Amino acid sequence: MRHCSTFKADEIYYLEENNIFTQRILSIGFCPICKRPVAELVEYNFAGGINRINLSGIHAQNLMIQLKDQIIYSTKEVNKRKLKSKPFGWKYGVNIDGKNGKAKQYACDFYGNKELIKKL
């Protein structure tokens, strides 16, 4: 995103397709220099053209309000689902001795997720 300088978006929303545009992406963030809200809407039409709209301030807030009903999912929701599901990324093993000499092996990640691998 670009306003006073180039910066990364705080949140990225993927929007529904409509009759004119496909692959609609709304990026939202705050400019690190002037602290104003900035919104960028990128849409691809069926002929292959790109429509890019950059707004800041109250116009960005109005665009966000206008498009909030068309949101399918956001990147933060996807990342939360990954963190609350099975272990991913770096994993380590945990062995637990249970009652009657039965042991269990778990695969754990650094986000607190664990999955039972074996019962011995």
Q: Report the alpha-carbon distance of residue 74 to residue 37 in Å, rounded.
A: 18
Tokens of 52: 């890019």
pLDDT digit of tens for each residue in the chain (120 aa)?
778 888 888 889 999 998 888 889 999 999 888 888 999 999 999 888 999 999 999 998 899 889 989 988 888 777 666 556 666 667 788 888 877 778 888 888 877 778 888 887
pTM for this structure?
A: 0.64
- What φ, ψ does residue 71 adopt, rounded to 5°? -75, 130
> What is the residue type of 31?
C
Q: Could you tell me which of 119, 71, 78, 73 has the C-alpha nearest to residue 99?
A: 119
Dihedral of CA atoms 56, 57, 58, 61 in degrees, nearest 10, equals 60
Q: Where are the chain's structural domains?
A: 11-81, 85-119
Q: Could you tell me which of 21, 11, 26, 9 has the C-alpha nearest to residue 64?
A: 26
CB contact at 8 A, 106 and 94 = yes
- Alpha helix locations (H) across 1-108? 58-67, 75-83
pLDDT at 106: 86
Quick count: other Cβ atoms within 10 Å of Cβ 1? 19
